[in-house]
Chains A and B, each alone.
Chain A
Amino acid sequence: MIRVAHLTVKYGAIAALTDVSFEVRPGSITAVLGANGAGKTTLLRTISSLMTPSQGEIFLGDTALVGQKTEDIARLGVAHVPEGRGVVAEFTVEENLRLGALSSPENSAHAVAAQFERFPVLAQRRKQYAATLSGGERQMLALARALVARPTVLLLDEPSLGLSPMVTADIMTTISTLSREEKLTVVLVEQNAKSALRIADHAVVLHVGTVVADAPAGDVANNDDLKRFYLGLVK
């Protein structure tokens, strides 16, 4: 579904990603793991064309993404929930969802209503400003907003950031259910390797901008060296 080939991305002279290649199978959840500064956010931002790589290609199916406009990539069905969720604090919950529905092919009122059905928490807070939501609710809103446009690919940047373990578990379950029910392809960027590996099918581990592991999630979860050196999970 998504193929990243020999991707190198730089900030000025410093490379944040060096020769990164991996594939994401359709309908799967692929966890992209790594410590702070590993280049995870940069990877997602490059997929969405918020950054331009100095080398390499990204394909969505057969479509090359490098060089396309961010908004066109979104319209191709790639929904990106950025780091920090990207909820517009000055908008109400409903306005945030309507914003997500703008590039939706179907009736947007319908699409918004469908998300309210899926996330009753949000339906109750329809007219509330997003600034007043709790962290977990904001993450729900960000997810719901990404889904209104009926994407085929979901890019999530650290959904667990700043959430308690219980809420994190909740969000992960939601992501897992979504992926299964909607046949969504998910790229799940996480520092919280444990929670991510629980729901992921596949895992890519980044370390200072290079891929150090690209394997089924189970294998990564059972590899003590990886866990110790790159994921900070000490047995």
Chain B
Amino acid sequence: MGGFLASRFMSDVFNGVANGIIFSLIALSLVVVWQSTNVLNFAQGAMATFATYIGMTQVEHGINIWLCMVISVVVGFIFGGLTERVLIRPLYGKPDINPIVVMVGFLGFLQFLAAAIWGNIPRILPSPFSQVFYTSKGHTIFLSPFVVFQILTAVTVMMIVALVFRFTTLGLKLRAAALAPEVARLLGVRVDRLLTFGWMISSAVGSFTAILVAMQNGSALSPSVMGSVFIFGFIAAAVGGLDSPIGAVVGGLLIGLVEQFTLDYWQANMAPVMALVVLIVVLMIRPRGLFTKNTQRRV
């Protein structure tokens, strides 16, 4: 058994899932705001990084690491709301290009500002769990307590998001605001607030993801730490379909596995190339992603 778990194939699966679940979280938070506001948040990674800097640099002031994580997520939550109110709200109903350009500008702004405030030198974050891999009868299994923590918390976050959206009144309102904003307003739903709230949730999930990314083995917190992760997350979301939360999760895992197998069996630099190839192939066959129903709701 230990031999099987330590096999090259299973090691790749573990690593692929561990990375993929990160992409899933990014994709999920992209989908949450895309569904409700039709804005693809290109600044998602940068916003998350910024919030993470604010929270996690408190570790240097002797504050408990768990508390720092909470601070980051709360900052992300508020940050998401502010962003929607100030930058996004004036753009509703404008051509596609306007929100894209503004969010790309915001991405640059946050990344350069983070570099200006905290410098470009990466900061290694302490990890709340050991990053040493488990061993079984002398075989190394590519799972560490931290990786297990990463996967479990990511799954928990996804479950919470799913449960809230599917089974609560708040979720009902959020879905209605996304699917049929005008009807929702006619029924007395305060759609504006819900859109802000959607951005807040998305941004909080993003911040949490950035913490995990920065804590990972071999990684550290830097202004561009989410750069390539965001690209993989976007690819995951587009592969799954920007309208589908389930698609986001599946797309993330798929891209994570593709990345891992590519870098193990070929080379690391081919991983983004293969991810792009997957994206292209999927979009050629299904232009709106694997999990989007073929409704022409927004034309």
B189 A98 Cβ-Cβ under 8 A: no
Q: What 1/0 flags go to B166-183 for Cβ under 8 Å of A?
A: 000100110110011011
Given known contacts A71-B191, A102-B173, A90 and B182 CB-to-CB distance under 8 angstroms? no
For the complex, what is the distance from the CA of A75 to the CA of B191, rounded to whole Å?
Answer: 13
Give residues of chain B (172-211) contacting chain A, Cβ–Cβ below 8 Å.
Answer: 172-173, 175-176, 179-180, 182-191
- In the complex, whether A48 has a CB less than 8 A from a CB of chain B is yes
B187 A82 Cβ-Cβ under 8 A: no
Q: Which of B175, B180, B188 contacts A102 (CB 8 A)?
A: B188
A48 B187 Cβ-Cβ under 8 A: no
A88 B180 Cβ-Cβ under 8 A: yes
- In the complex, whether A99 has a CB less than 8 A from a CB of chain B is yes
Please give, as numbers and ranges, the residues of chain A lying within 8 Å of B184 by CB-CB distance: 99
Extra contacts, 15 of them, besides A86-B180, A102-B188 (Cβ < 8 A), are A48-B186, A50-B186, A70-B186, A71-B185, A71-B190, A71-B191, A79-B186, A82-B186, A88-B176, A91-B179, A99-B172, A99-B184, A102-B172, A102-B189, A103-B188
10 A-B contacts (beta carbon < 8 Å): A50-B182, A70-B186, A71-B190, A74-B185, A74-B186, A74-B188, A82-B183, A82-B186, A88-B179, A90-B179
A71 B183 Cβ-Cβ under 8 A: no
- In the complex, whether A205 has a CB less than 8 A from a CB of chain B is no
Q: How many positions in chain B have a CB within 8 Å of any CB in the partner chain? A: 17
Chain B, residue nearest A131 (CB): B295
- In the complex, whether A80 has a CB less than 8 A from a CB of chain B is yes
For the complex, what is the distance from the CA of A86 to the CA of B175, rounded to whole Å?
Answer: 15
- In the complex, whether A34 has a CB less than 8 A from a CB of chain B is no
For the complex, what is the distance from the CA of A91 to the CA of B175, rounded to whole Å?
Answer: 9
Chain B, residue nearest A81 (CB): B186
For the complex, what is the distance from the CA of A103 to the CA of B175, rounded to whole Å?
Answer: 16
A103 B180 Cβ-Cβ under 8 A: no
| Residues of chain B at the chain A interface (Cβ within 8 Å) | 169, 172-173, 175-176, 179-180, 182-191
B188 A82 Cβ-Cβ under 8 A: no
Query: How distant is A150 from chain B, measured CB to nearest CB, in Å?
Result: 12
Given known contacts A91-B176, A102-B169, A86 and B188 CB-to-CB distance under 8 angstroms? no
**Chain A: interface residue count, which band?**
20 to 34
Q: What 1/0 flags go to A50-89 for Cβ under 8 Å of B?
A: 1000000000000000000111001100011010001010
- In the complex, whether A100 has a CB less than 8 A from a CB of chain B is yes
Give residues of chain A (155-188) contacting chain B, Cβ–Cβ below 8 Å.
Answer: none
The 4 tightest CB contacts between A and B, nearest first, are: A103-B188, A74-B188, A86-B183, A70-B185
Query: How distant is B177 from chain A, measured CB to nearest CB, in Å?
Result: 10
Q: What 1/0 flags go to A134-169 for Cβ under 8 Å of B?
A: 000000000001000100000000000000000000
For the complex, what is the distance from the CA of A71 to the CA of B176, rounded to whole Å?
Answer: 14
- In the complex, whether A23 has a CB less than 8 A from a CB of chain B is no
Query: How distant is B295 from chain A, measured CB to nearest CB, in Å?
Result: 8
- In the complex, whether A95 has a CB less than 8 A from a CB of chain B is yes
For the complex, what is the distance from the CA of A74 to the CA of B186, rounded to whole Å?
Answer: 6
For the complex, what is the distance from the CA of A102 to the CA of B171, rounded to whole Å?
Answer: 12
For the complex, what is the distance from the CA of A75 to the CA of B169, rounded to whole Å?
Answer: 17
Chain A, residue nearest B184 (CB): A99
For the complex, what is the distance from the CA of A103 to the CA of B191, rounded to whole Å?
Answer: 13
For the complex, what is the distance from the CA of A74 to the CA of B179, rounded to whole Å?
Answer: 19
A145 B176 Cβ-Cβ under 8 A: no
A71 B188 Cβ-Cβ under 8 A: yes
